[in-house]
């Protein structure tokens, strides 16, 4: 029998990500998206696949080529499928007949189209498009497709003029439009100087639910309200009170109730999302999970899945039952809920459920599941029994030749009696009696959660003989409101102590860890904490800081979120430079002795590269051991969705640095 090999960074080119399952209303037909990375072309490729969940036959590929095909959505009668494809350039809406035939392009929007939503009668599709005021809905000829490449000045008169996801704002607003499926005619449903996000269509076809912030001063506003707009009169009705951030809007089958996920920002961006129900008859809204510490949605992080979609609440045929995803103690869980307030898990296991679709049924669901040593596949969930039947095996052949590490959960108490939860991943080919180096991983956010999910970076480290330790310190999601809020105003305080306590616990309970060969790494907030750690202790022999924060004072003015994030998280601003500096790792550069590799993307607008430059220069000026790696054409999302070759380079830089100092 051929011996299995260990995984490598380059194996990202071999692995497939399966996501966004969509079960049709008949409860049988399911379409999903499979994404791969193309090494030669250095890009991503996504295609649609079909499977009958009753017959469990071999999946059938429905789209082909090296483009991105995504967002498959069934018509209500299940006879047609709308999806988004960039085969003609920018993403546009296409429709394919399930009975056969070629996909037909419906839109030719100059800046692309996204988020297709069918009308109940199947004659129209609503969608989102970015457009300037007065700009044409469609490309009229080849001349329109060619952009003027001459540089032009950027005029800035607002603070929210850039974002890590979209770069500099170019005058376009996100609008909702409707296209006639037969005629291809496009009608703009919203307009003006606001961004509207399409949500869902009412069962009677009269209304479309959308979300938007209609505040005049967008720079000082951080809300998202729910509206319904009449498809004929375009009359807009506001359902929420301008008090919070709401989205994921879905209608009950009879149109009487609207399910909403959101919160009222009691703890700013550390507030738990909850389930809200709007009654169309009484015109009142109520929160069903107000007294619960359950976080609605999927807040687990990873570095592998592409195109995962978190749905809102998915209604059943009875108009009072529904299912949803929740984030809970290192897992994402499928929950059942009802208008009566009944809530309980329908699928509770050591797993990351990163996709859920019910087709409107109450007895079954298709779920996308990942585990620490399992990249991910689709399963059919029998709700009454909790049994899972595997539908796909997209990485079966590859995984048959690879040995992966699993993770062991750990729990411990801190000095102030807080419960902490995390994992230890042993090296691949672990041998009793041997000593191994350990790498401590710290997630970003800080309001995110490590989970029982596949993490390629962890597997690459374990394959090279490292133990990997990762925990959810206070500030992480999944452990209640008090836990996630505890980090605000205390960066580098108890969160630092939590992480050090995890290292102490690992050394005390796992005798295979070599205390003299400890490494630490993390990105974003995890990069901040890596910088903080090496400025406060010399127990780590090597460190890699990624897309990090080093100086909260300059971060205030250069990050796309800086001017409000420092207020929310550090609870300070430029009126209190002393506090910002006290929480800045750069203030402790004289104490930094750990060899530090600094990884940063050139186009990172969330944690701009000047954060890395300041730290690098300060360290080099003091003759400290450091190196700076700059990644071109990459933003804050490099590790998750960056150019394939750069993602591979990043992983090899990380493992190479630790190999140099810990082996």
Query: What is the tens place of the pLDDT at every residue in 277-294?
Result: 999 999 999 999 999 999
Structural domain including 484 reads: 416-662
For residue 237, the cross-strand partners are: 228
Residue 183 lies in a domain: no
Q: Is the pLDDT of residue 215 over 80?
A: yes
With a threshold of 0.85, does the pTM exceed it?
yes
> By the 8 A CB rule, do 60 and 100 touch?
no
Torsion, Cα 204 207 209 215, to 10 degrees, reads: -160
Give whole-number Cα distances, 618 to 337, 527, 531, 541, in Å. 54, 17, 13, 19
Integer Cα distance of 430 and 379 in angstroms: 31
Closest Cα partner for 300 from 336, 262, 265, 351? 351
Q: In this model, does residue 316 exceed pLDDT 60? A: yes
CATH number of 453's domain: 3.40.50.1820
Residue 382: φ, ψ to 5°: -85, 110
- Does 426 map to a domain? yes
What's residue 294's pLDDT? Answer: 96
Considering only CA atoms, which of 359, 360, 362, 369 is closest in space to residue 346?
362
Domains in the chain, number: 1
Average pLDDT for residues 109-125, to the nearest whole number?
97
Would the pLDDT of 12 be above 80? yes
| Residue 53: predicted pLDDT | 96
Q: Is the Cβ–Cβ distance between 103 and 86 less than 8 Å?
A: no
Q: How far apart are the C-alpha atoms of 363 and 349, rounded to whole Å?
A: 19
What is residue 384's predicted lDDT score, i.e. its pLDDT?
85
Q: Is residue 577 part of a domain?
A: yes
Cβ pair 61, 49 in contact under 8 A: yes
The percent of residues in the chain predicted with pLDDT above 90, rounded, is 94
- The residues facing 323 across adjacent strands are 314, 336
Residue 76 lies in a domain: no
The CB density around residue 167, as the number of other CB atoms within 10 Å, is 12
Nearest Cα neighbor of 327 from 359, 363, 301 is: 301
Coil, helix or strand at residue 245: strand
Q: Does residue 142 surpass a pLDDT of 50?
A: no
337 falls within a domain: no
Q: Considering only CA atoms, give the Rg of the chain.
A: 25
In degrees and rounded to multiples of 5, residue 236 shows phi and psi of -105, 130
Q: Does a structural domain hold residue 546? A: yes
Has residue 350 been placed in a domain? no
CA-CA distance, 371 to 357, in Å (whole number)?
Answer: 19
Taking 80 as the threshold, does the pLDDT of residue 139 lie above it?
A: no
Q: Are 444 and 365 in contact (CB under 8 A)?
A: no
Provide the pLDDT confidence category of residue 345 given band limits of 50, 70 and 90.
very high
* 629 assigned to some structural domain: yes
The angle that helices 456-463 and 644-662 make with each other, rounded to 10 degrees, is 40
Catalytic residues: 524, 636
Read off the pLDDT of residues 540-584 as tens digits, 9 standing for 90 and up: 999 999 999 999 999 999 999 999 999 999 999 999 999 999 999
Percent of the chain that is helix, strand, coil (3-state, to 5): 20, 35, 45
pLDDT confidence bin for 148, thresholds 50/70/90 = low
The predicted model gives 495-506 an average pLDDT of: 98
Kindly state the average pLDDT of the residues 108-127.
Answer: 97
Give residue 144's pLDDT.
47
């Amino acid at each position: 029998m051929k011996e299995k090999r260990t995984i490598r960074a380059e194996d990202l080119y071999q692995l497939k990500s399966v996501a966004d399952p969509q079960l049709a209303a008949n409860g049988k037909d399911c379409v999903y998206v499979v994404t791969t990375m193309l090494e030669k072309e250095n890009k991503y490729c996504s295609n649609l696949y079909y499977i009958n969940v009753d017959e469990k036959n071999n999946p059938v590929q429905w789209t082909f080529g090296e483009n991105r095909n995504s967002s498959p959505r069934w018509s209500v009668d299940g006879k047609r499928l709308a999806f988004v494809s960039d085969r003609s350039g920018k993403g546009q809406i296409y429709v394919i007949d399930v009975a056969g035939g070629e996909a037909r392009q419906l839109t030719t929007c100059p800046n692309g189209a996204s988020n297709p939503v069918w009308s109940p009668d199947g004659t129209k599709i609503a969608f989102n498009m970015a457009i300037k005021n007065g700009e044409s809905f469609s490309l009229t000829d080849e001349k329109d497709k060619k952009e003027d490449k001459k540089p032009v000045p950027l005029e800035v008169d607002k603070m929210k003029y850039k974002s890590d996801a979209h770069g500099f704002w170019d005058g376009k607003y996100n609008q909702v439009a409707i296209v006639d499926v037969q005629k291809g005619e496009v009608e703009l449903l919203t307009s003006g100087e606001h961004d509207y996000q399409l949500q869902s269509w009412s069962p009677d076809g009269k209304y479309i639910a959308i979300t938007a912030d209609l505040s005049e001063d967008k720079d000082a506003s951080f809300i998202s309200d729910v509206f319904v707009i009449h498809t004929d009169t375009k009359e807009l009705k506001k359902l929420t009170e301008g008090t919070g951030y709401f989205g994921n809007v879905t209608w009950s089958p009879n149109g009487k109730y609207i399910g909403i996920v959101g919160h009222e920002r009691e703890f700013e961006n550390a507030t738990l999302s909850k389930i809200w129900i709007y009654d169309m008859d009484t015109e009142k809204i109520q929160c069903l999970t107000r007294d619960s510490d359950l976080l609605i949605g999927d807040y687990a992080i990873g570095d592998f899945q592409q195109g995962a979609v978190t749905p809102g609440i998915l209604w059943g045929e009875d108009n009072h039952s529904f299912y949803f995803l929740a984030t809970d103690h290192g897992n994402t869980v499928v929950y059942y809920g009802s208008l009566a307030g009944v809530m309980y898990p329908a699928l509770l296991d050591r797993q990351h459920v990163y996709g859920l679709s019910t087709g409107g049924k109450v007895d079954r669901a298709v779920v996308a599941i990942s585990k620490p040593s399992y990249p991910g596949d689709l399963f059919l969930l029998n709700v009454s029994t909790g049994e899972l039947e595997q539908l796909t095996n997209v990485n079966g052949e590859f995984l048959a030749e690879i040995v992966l590490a699993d993770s062991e959960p750990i729990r411990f108490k801190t000095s102030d009696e807080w419960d902490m939860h995390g994992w230890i991943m042993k090296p691949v080919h672990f041998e009793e009696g041997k000593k191994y180096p350990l790498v401590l991983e710290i997630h970003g956010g800080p309001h995110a959660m490590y989970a029982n999910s596949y993490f390629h970076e962890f597997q690459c480290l374990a394959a090279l003989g490292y133990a990997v330790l990762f925990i959810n310190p206070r500030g992480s999601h999944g452990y209640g409101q008090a836990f996630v809020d505890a980090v605000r105003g205390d960066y580098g305080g108890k969160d630092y102590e939590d992480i050090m306590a995890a290292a102490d616990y690992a050394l005390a309970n796992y005798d295979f860890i070599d205390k003299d060969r400890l490494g630490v790494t993390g990105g974003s907030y995890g990069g901040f904490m890596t910088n903080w750690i090496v400025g406060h202790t010399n127990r780590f022999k090597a460190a890699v800081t990624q897309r990090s924060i080093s100086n909260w004072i300059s971060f205030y003015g250069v990050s796309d979120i800086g001017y409000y994030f420092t207020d929310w998280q550090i609870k300070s601003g430029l009126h209190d430079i002393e506090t910002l500096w006290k929480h800045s790792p750069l203030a402790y550069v004289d104490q930094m002795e750990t060899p530090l590799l600094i990884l940063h993307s050139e186009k990172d607008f969330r944690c701009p590269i000047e954060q890395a430059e300041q730290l690098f220069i300060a360290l080099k000026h003091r003759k400290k051991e450091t190196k700076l790696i700059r990644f071109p054409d990459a933003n804050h999302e490099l590790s998750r969705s960056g150019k394939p070759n750069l993602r591979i380079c990043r992983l090899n830089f990380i493992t190479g640095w630790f190999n140099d100092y810990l082996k």
